Amino acid sequence: MPKFNSFVLDQNIFTEHFRVIHGNDALTIKMRLSSVVLYELVATTVSADDLDLFERLRKLHDRNETLITPDKTDWWETAKMIRRLRFGDKSASHGLTPKIQHAQKLQNDALIARTATLAKCYVVTKDIDDFRQFVPFLPNLEVVGDAEFFG
Amino acid sequence: MKKIDESKNGVEKSNGNEANAERKIPIIQTLKPKKRYTKLERELIEATKAVMDAIARQQNAKI
């Protein structure tokens, strides 16, 4: 069991496990909503009507103080973390700066990981390895796979 | 009959003779619903359900 009590759901958990989330009130109350995850969900939303639903959820989590949003320090520390990740890769690639194929995803995952950890939450995701690469920089980061969480 | 081994939080343990009887309980099953929710919590629950419905619609799926 994770040592933290609350959790943040990654975007892929919402899109794959929406039925379970829909039917589990205890989960809804226990979870914290990441602004970064909300961004990822809204960016793929096409209907204007649906956009209003996401906006309402954002406002309610904000009022409930369960909305986790990166601040200026989070952005700066995340930039340094990504730089160090790339620097490590660079030394392994004989001085060439490696091209990060999914640079924005890496940035978003890093922001989710950092802000969740600071809020004493673990991250539930399908992409466990993507998040575990941040553990050397975020020693308290806890990552839980969807199989462990949902069974 | 199975019981929860409290010394190993979240681990289900059999007191029978099954080999390798220990297995992890999914975390979601350890989340206990509250008997009463505040107005804000009820609003959060309804808003979350509405968003899950929207995600289902995006995927042409049904809840």
Helix axes A35-43, A48-63, angle to 10 degrees: 170
Asked if the Cβ–Cβ distance from A1 to B34 is below 8 Å, we say no
Residues A68-103: tens digit of each pLDDT: 999 999 999 999 999 888 777 655 556 665 555 577
Q: What average pLDDT does range A56-60 have in this prediction?
A: 98
Residues A17-55: tens digit of each pLDDT: 999 999 999 999 999 999 999 999 999 877 888 999 999
Element holding A67 (H helix, E strand): strand A67-68
Mutate to test the interface with A, among B9, B31, B42 (most CBs of A within 10 A): B31
Residues A112-134: tens digit of each pLDDT: 999 999 999 999 999 999 999 99
Task: Give the model's confidence band at B1: pLDDT under 50 very low, under 70 low, under 90 confident, else very high.
Answer: very low
Asked if the Cβ–Cβ distance from B45 to A61 is below 8 Å, we say no
Alpha-helix residue ranges (DSSP H) falling in chain A: 11-16, 18-22, 25-30, 35-43, 48-63, 72-92, 103-118, 128-132, 146-150
Percent helix, percent strand, percent coil in chain B, to nearest 5: 40, 15, 45
Poorest-confidence range of A2-6, A71-75, B8-12, B23-27?
B8-12
CB neighbour class for A57 (10 Å; exposed up to 12, middle 13-18, buried from 19): buried
Whether the per-residue pLDDT at B8 is higher than 50: the answer is no
Residues A89, A132: Cα–Cα separation, whole Å = 16
Asked if the Cβ–Cβ distance from B48 to A148 is below 8 Å, we say no
Mutate to test the interface with A, among B51, B59, B60 (most CBs of A within 10 A): B51
Q: In sequence order, what E strands does chain B have? A: 2-5, 11-14, 23-24
Nearest chain A residue to B6 by CA: give it.
A1
